[in-house]
Copies of this chain bind each other. A is one copy, B any other.
């Protein structure tokens, strides 16, 4: 597997993953009917950097990195990660999260924050914890899950530097 920065021809591959995951409405706080144009803005244009993971020339994962709050909060970044449904269980999310922490440091960030991890997304919660993130907050009923209704959302955080 190869991880690299996004290029012009990558959006079709990203969109097929994005659309599948966001349409389900179970993990990401984006509208379930997010359009292709909006998705490109969210995932590629608005963030500071976007990366893709390729296996045999196919995009199997993607993540972005952006500044979470401006000014006095600009040393904290935020990332979003997506893995193609057929490529789950191969450590791609873990690979991307580790890569993103390194990129964050290179971009000058000191910490990384996930703002809204659905409590039902136990796979993600466990993985981020394993990779050093701490659940620093719980937002009661902040996420509307299509099958479970209003569920809690977690705020996760990791200080990345030793300084």
A-side residues, CB < 8 A to B, are 22, 25-26, 28-32, 34, 69-76, 110-111, 113, 115-116, 118, 136-146, 150, 153, 155, 157, 159
Contact = CB atoms under 8 A, between A and B. Distances in A.
Nearest to A31: B71
Contact of A115 (B28, B71, B115): B115
A155 B140 contact: no
- Per assembly, the copies of the chain total 2
Contacts of A26: 72
23 contacts: A25-B71, A29-B70, A29-B72, A30-B71, A31-B70, A31-B71, A72-B145, A73-B116, A73-B143, A73-B144, A74-B144, A75-B144, A110-B150, A111-B140, A113-B142, A115-B115, A136-B138, A136-B140, A136-B155, A137-B137, A137-B138, A139-B155, A155-B155
